[in-house]
Amino acid sequence: MKKAEFHLALPCEDIQSTIDFYTYKLGARLGRNTDTWADIDLYGNQITFTKAGDFSFDFKSYRLGEQILPSFHFGVIIDVEAWGKLYSRLFSMDLEVTTETTFFENKVGEHLSFFVKDPNGYMVEFKSFKNPNEIFTA
């Protein structure tokens, strides 16, 4: 299968705080938008947030090795340089950056990972694989 950008549509509580988080804090680009929805360009992928009023998700978790991770999350795979810059940027903003760790250390699929919560309660994961050819290797 050829590489392709993804589109993800999610409800949000407040369009402006969502735009501010993704553009100013994560460094994403704002695309088309209105008072009730916004397209965010996150590393070439389109996330559409639509104002939906109150909504809730049960953030159930699971264990991967020694880490407890959120079951409901989405993320982006970026190179190690971009990963380090973003991690430092968010940490310096005093945001709650969680679960910064290396998964599958010294094994196939080894990668750095961290999570940050957006204003809507979504957990956004950023990964950087030691060997990008192992992203889908079993």
| Whether 52 contacts 11, CB under 8 Å | yes
What is the full per-residue pLDDT of the chain (138 aa) written as tens digits? 677 788 898 888 899 999 999 999 999 999 999 999 999 999 999 999 998 877 666 656 767 777 777 767 889 999 999 999 999 999 899 888 887 889 889 999 999 999 999 998 888 999 999 999 998 886
- In single-letter form, the type of residue at position 116 comes to V
* CA atoms lying within 13 Å on the CB side of residue 54: 0
135: three-class secondary structure by DSSP? coil
pTM, entire model? 0.81
| Cα–Cα dist 113/101, whole Å | 6
